[in-house]
Amino acid sequence: MRLFDEFSFSCPLKINCGSRALENLPAELSAFNANAPLILASRDQVGKKRIGSVVDAFKTSGLTLGIYDRLPDRPQPDLMPVLARMYRDGACDSILALGHGAVVDTAKCLNLMVSEGFHESVDEAGEEASDPGPLRPLMLVATAAGNGDEATGYANDGIRRLCSPRLIPTVVFIDPAMMVDRNDRDVVDGAMIALVHAVEAFLDDSAGPMCRAYAHTAIGLIMQHLPAALRKTDRKKNLSAVVNGQVAAGCAYFSSSPGICHVLATGLKEGTDLPLGFLMAMLLPHVVAEAGYNQPEQVGELLYPMVGADIFAVTAADLKTPRTIALFWEFFDALNAELSEKIPSAIVDSDMTVEQIERIRSHLASGSSDDHVARILEGARRGVTAMDN
């Protein structure tokens, strides 16, 4: 493994995982001298039963709870002052987010508003302008259908995308009892986003070896446990493993740069109703094949988290990259066998026109990257990787 001359990696997130993880909520809050959390959730997302399970974890703790469980499915800027007033009027001193997506975004943004020392530290472009200083404890009870963004320092306030390491949750709790039986489409969508972020972080030398270790873990957990979760085999346990992978992917993603698969899929999303994660999955084998020409040894090492040390060791060096690409196709086939809405194998299977694809290519490609983008999109259009030609 090559050690890049300069890199930065930070992961202040603590993970508390297991069948009784929720029981540790009061102790983790008390460790930060927090005694009055405001619980944020969405009944539509997690249901009353699981909100009740979180409340039950505090029954004998003596802690005072505030609850707002009607968060919308998108961050609402107008709601933030209401939540801030609820937090202050209730003398709350911490935040507990239950769920994923907009719920966690709202919790992160609220934490900025109510923490002392916050002075509009993020600029209008969503870039970090200055350190907002220490924030109040933010606990996250994770559920299925997240995509790893919950574990990052990114947050969407409904207007812009904010960025600061201070936004990373303090502790995440992953308990099988909280694995909501979401529809498979949402679960796979989130898992594919996390998987692509992990793969691209793994291939990003400048991110450093610690980032790569988190990405390695994420790839292995998601690819091993997601098909079993879709087959309803010990579903809650396998979903917990997938969520662990998503959290690890989020940690890696926040310490690396968004890769070309992320950028291309985001551009393609403007022309289709397909989930973003499905688009990322469709592009991933082509992105990996393209990378294989420039860094074959690095791409070949992707095989390790996919198959384990024994098979990796006996696979010839020149076969590792093509075997990695083949395993991605096999993985997507296994997922499609359980899905009613399939991950497309090629852009021609989506509802995008050639004109839309060309417009996206022209917009995203520039200079030396033009050939790379063109080859990736052409391969994805036909469903054939460059190595198959």
Residue 354's domain is classified under what CATH number? 1.20.1090.10
Does the residue 210 lie in any domain? yes
Q: Are 118 and 230 members of one domain?
A: no
Q: Which residues pair with 162 in a beta bridge?
A: 155
Q: Which residues contact 276 (CB under 8 A, 6 or more apart)?
A: 189, 193, 265, 266, 269
User: How many CB atoms sit inside 10 A of residue 360's CB?
Assistant: 20
pLDDT band at 37 (very low <50, low <70, confident <90, very high): very high
Above pLDDT 70, what percent of the chain?
Answer: 91
Residue 38's domain is classified under what CATH number? 3.40.50.1970
Q: What is the mean pLDDT of residues 155-168?
A: 93
Q: Which letter does DSSP use for residue 230 in this model?
A: H
Q: Are 120 and 192 members of one domain?
A: no
Last residue of a domain, which of 139, 160, 178?
178
Q: Are 246 and 131 members of one domain?
A: no
Model confidence at 124: pLDDT above 60: no
Q: What is the pLDDT at residue 111?
A: 96
State residue 39 phi and psi, 5-degree precision: -90, 125
pLDDT band at 4 (very low <50, low <70, confident <90, very high): low
Q: When comparing pLDDT for 379 and 35, which is higher?
A: 35
Q: Which letter does DSSP use for residue 30 in this model?
A: H
Taking the CA atoms of the chain, what radius of gyration do you get in angstroms? Answer: 21
Model confidence at 377: pLDDT above 90: no
Q: When comparing pLDDT for 359 and 84, which is higher?
A: 84
Query: Up-side HSE of residue 119: CA atoms within 13 Å toward CB?
Result: 5
Distance CA 115, CA 132 (A): 9
Domain that holds residue 51: 14-178
Q: Residues 181-191: pLDDT tens digits?
A: 778 999 999 99
Which tokens is 362 given?
Answer: 């022209």
Ramachandran sector of residue 366 (left: φ over 0; alpha: ψ -120 to 50; beta: rest): beta
Model confidence at 335: pLDDT above 90: yes
Q: What is the pLDDT at residue 147?
A: 96
Q: Are 348 and 201 members of one domain?
A: yes
Q: Residues 236-266: pLDDT tens digits?
A: 999 999 999 999 999 999 999 889 999 889 8
Q: Are 238 and 324 members of one domain?
A: yes
Q: Are 162 and 189 members of one domain?
A: no
Q: What is the residue whose two structure tokens read 């990736």? A: 376
Q: What is the pLDDT at residue 1?
A: 56
Model confidence at 25: pLDDT above 80: yes
Ramachandran sector of residue 295 (left: φ over 0; alpha: ψ -120 to 50; beta: rest): beta
Number of domains in the chain: 2
222: amino acid identity, one letter: I
Q: For 119-157, b where at least 16 C-beta lie within 10 A, e where not — what string?
A: eebbeeeeebeeebeebbbbbbbbbbbbbbbbbbbbbbb
Q: Are 249 and 135 members of one domain?
A: no
Q: What is the pLDDT at residue 379?
A: 85
Does the residue 1 lie in any domain? no
Does the residue 2 lie in any domain? no
Mapping DSSP to helix (H, G, I), strand (E, B) and coil, where does residue 27 land?
helix
Model confidence at 339: pLDDT above 80: yes
Distance CA 106, CA 110 (A): 6
Highest mean pLDDT among 31-35, 344-348, 368-372: 31-35
Q: What is the pLDDT at residue 121?
A: 45
Quick check: 261 and 214 in contact, CB under 8 A? no
Q: Are 236 and 350 members of one domain?
A: yes
- Among 180, 99, 110, 183, smallest CA distance to 147 is for 99
Q: What is the mean pLDDT of residues 135-152?
A: 96
Highest mean pLDDT among 5-19, 45-59, 256-270, 361-375: 45-59
Q: Are 117 and 149 members of one domain?
A: yes
Of 111-120, 178-187, 217-226, 359-368, the least confident: 359-368
Q: For 56-82, b where at least 16 C-beta lie within 10 A, e where not — what string?
A: ebbeeeebeebbbbebeeebeeebbee
Last residue of a domain, which of 161, 178, 195?
178
Q: Are 238 and 363 members of one domain?
A: yes
Torsion of CA 97, 101, 106, 108, to 10 degrees: 70
Does the residue 4 lie in any domain? no
Q: Are 162 and 275 members of one domain?
A: no
pLDDT band at 347 (very low <50, low <70, confident <90, very high): confident
What is the DSSP annotation of 135-201?
---EEEE--TT--SGGGSSEEE-SSSEEE-GGGS-SEEEE-GGG-----HHHHHHHHHHHHHHHHHH
| Sign (positive or negative) of CA dihedral 177, 178, 182, 184 | negative
Q: What is the mean pLDDT of residues 327-331?
A: 96
Q: When comparing pLDDT for 137 and 350, which is higher?
A: 137
Q: Are 133 and 244 members of one domain?
A: no
Q: What is the mean pLDDT of residues 277-293?
A: 94
Quick check: 228 and 238 in contact, CB under 8 A? yes
What is the DSSP annotation of 296-329?
HHHHHTTHHHHH-HHHHHHS-HHHHHHHHHHHHH
Q: Residues 67-108: pLDDT tens digits?
A: 999 999 999 999 999 999 999 999 999 999 999 999 999 999
Of 166-175, 309-318, 343-352, the least confident: 343-352
Model confidence at 29: pLDDT above 90: yes
